[in-house]
Amino acid sequence: MRTVKVELAERSYPIFIGSNLLADKDLISRHLPQHRAAIVTDSVVAPLYLDAFAGALNDAGVEVIRMVIPAGEQHKDWQTLGSVFDSLIAHRCERKTALIALGGGVIGDLTGFAAATYLRGVPFIQIPTTLLAQVDSSVGGKTAVNHPRGKNLIGAFYQPLAVIADTATLATLPQREIGAGLAEVIKYGLIRDPAFFSWLEANIDALTRRDDDALGYAIQRSCENKAEVVAADEREETGIRAQLNLGHTFGHAIEVGTGYGSWLHGEAVAAGMVIAARVSRHMGLMGDDEVTRIVTLLKRAHLPVVAPDLGVDHYLDLMGLDKKVEGGKIRFILLRAIGSAFITAEVPQDAIAAALVESAHHG
Ligand code: NAD
Ligand code: GLY
């Protein structure tokens, strides 16, 4: 088992990464403050893992309350959140009853927000079962639901007590979801870890065919990168954590503009990172060769690099609701080089327009 620590003083917590951790009843139960816990999962994950996981907790003497919500980004909303609160109240869950998120980023984000707000905050544990959730969304305490007009607009920063990433669960993930997770893995190389980017270029085929060692290392290195960023800027106040949003300003516009669930989040981020790289190139920050390296790696991960043609004005309108907007100006994460990102509001409109038009027509 690999362990990564998120260092946040009294809110510090471990990330455990390894195969078959769901069956390790002691690993999970030792983080529970009482012998009762509520598991929130979705309609796809439940038939695969809920019985075995709940059974392991029962063996550890934990009474389990099960909540199954419909799978998919389109259900990461206020209404589904309300159904979780209804269930928590119906089962008389208390301040020490932990909420356990068993699933992908949708489950983790929604359950985390429920944990942050139910009774003003209850213990929370992340059990991520998608690659994307194991490398990104389960770590760092961002929780949220979507608004029809914008991604993750309603949420809270709320750290879990532990993250337990069972890599064996990745065996049942559809191939498209592996690609979506790899987009966020590639993101870490692009924003701050050029050696990792080179390692990914050498190992991308092993990752797409789910080689255990390659996946284990990629998950560990991603979590190490994320843990360092979150420790430096937990609440996204200094611009450091905002770098994790490379490609997301464009990506969120793609997700909302095409309708939640049509493009996977990781796919939209991949196309968004290509647009951000091209904006950087149009501003003279990066060369053609680096943009080509980025596009090539994303394609090898079977990710989309051509963005939907929503029209420049519609993109700008959708991006106007981005959480990074400050004083009415959209702030973008751009690249000085592979491995070096920064945030800026000083981006010429013609560079954005040119990158959007180019990305709607070229891979
Ligand atoms: P998801 O939660 O929708 O999971 C993808 C699909 O895989 C779902 O249908 C799910 O039911 C299924 N699934 C989950 N585990 C499975 C398994 N082991 N086997 C088979 N199927 C499985 O999507 P995701 O890509 O995990 O997460 C995307 C969400 O994460 C987005 O809402 C995004 O905004 C959010 N996110 C949050 C952060 C953060 O820091 N909080 C970071 C990145 C992304
Ligand atoms: N996924 C962006 C963040 O955690 O800050």
Q: What is the per-residue pLDDT across 128-177, written as a single tens digit (0 to 9) for each?
A: 999 999 999 999 999 999 999 889 999 999 999 999 999 999 999 999 99
- The answer to whether the CB of 180 falls within 8 A of the CB of 302 is no
Report the share of the chain in percent with pLDDT over 70: 100
Cβ neighbours around 199 below 10 Å, total: 16
Ligand nearest to the CA of 22: 1
Provide DSSP, 39-107. Answer: EEEETTHIIIIIHHHHHHHHHTT-EEEEEEE--SGGG-SHHHHHHHHHHHHHTT--TT-EEEEEESHHH
Distance (angstroms) between ligand 1 centre and the Cα of 284 equals: 35
pLDDT exceeds cutoff 80 at 97: yes
Q: What is the pLDDT of residue 182?
A: 98
Distance (angstroms) between ligand 1 centre and the Cα of 150 equals: 18
pLDDT band at 322 (very low <50, low <70, confident <90, very high): confident
Report the share of the chain in percent with pLDDT over 90: 94
Task: Assess whether 25 carries a catalytic annotation.
Answer: no
Give the type of residue at 7. E
Per-residue pLDDT tens digits for 260-307: 989 999 999 999 999 999 999 999 999 999 999 999 999 999 999 999
Q: What is the pLDDT of residue 25?
A: 87
Handedness of CA 230, 232, 234, 237 (dihedral sign): negative
Choosing from 36, 73, 76, 245, the catalytic residue is: 245
Secondary-structure percent of the chain, ordered helix, strand, coil, rounded to 5: 55, 20, 30
pLDDT exceeds cutoff 80 at 309: yes
Q: What is the pLDDT of residue 282?
A: 96
Per-residue pLDDT tens digits for 190-204: 999 999 999 999 999
282 torsion bin: left (phi>0), alpha (psi -120 to 50), beta (else): alpha
Task: Assess whether 290 carries a catalytic annotation.
Answer: no
3-state class (DSSP) for residue 181: helix
pLDDT band at 98 (very low <50, low <70, confident <90, very high): very high
Distance (angstroms) between ligand 1 centre and the Cα of 288 equals: 33
Measured from the Cα of 136, ligand 2's closest atom is 1
- The answer to whether the CB of 115 falls within 8 A of the CB of 150 is no
Between helix 105-117 and helix 78-90 the angle, nearest 10°, is: 60
Q: What is the pLDDT of residue 20?
A: 96
Q: Pocket around ligand 1: residues whose beta carbon is below 6 Å from it? A: 42, 44-45, 48, 71-73, 76, 103-107, 109, 129-130, 132-133, 136-137, 140, 142, 151-152, 169, 172-173, 177, 180, 265-266
Measured from the Cα of 140, ligand 2's closest atom is 4
> Average per-residue pLDDT in the chain?
96
Task: Assess whether 346 carries a catalytic annotation.
Answer: no
Q: Which domains does the chain have, with CATH numbers?
A: 2-172 (3.40.50.1970), 187-361 (1.20.1090.10)
Q: Can you give the pTM of this predicted structure?
A: 0.96
Rounded Cα distance between 330 and 167, Å, is 37
Distance (angstroms) between ligand 1 centre and the Cα of 128 equals: 8
Rounded Cα distance between 139 and 220, Å, is 12
pLDDT exceeds cutoff 90 at 91: yes
Task: Assess whether 94 carries a catalytic annotation.
Answer: no
Q: Residue 100: which of 137, 65, 152 has the closest Cα? A: 65
Which is more confident, 326 or 67?
67
pLDDT band at 56 (very low <50, low <70, confident <90, very high): very high
Per-residue pLDDT tens digits for 169-193: 999 999 999 999 999 999 999 999 9
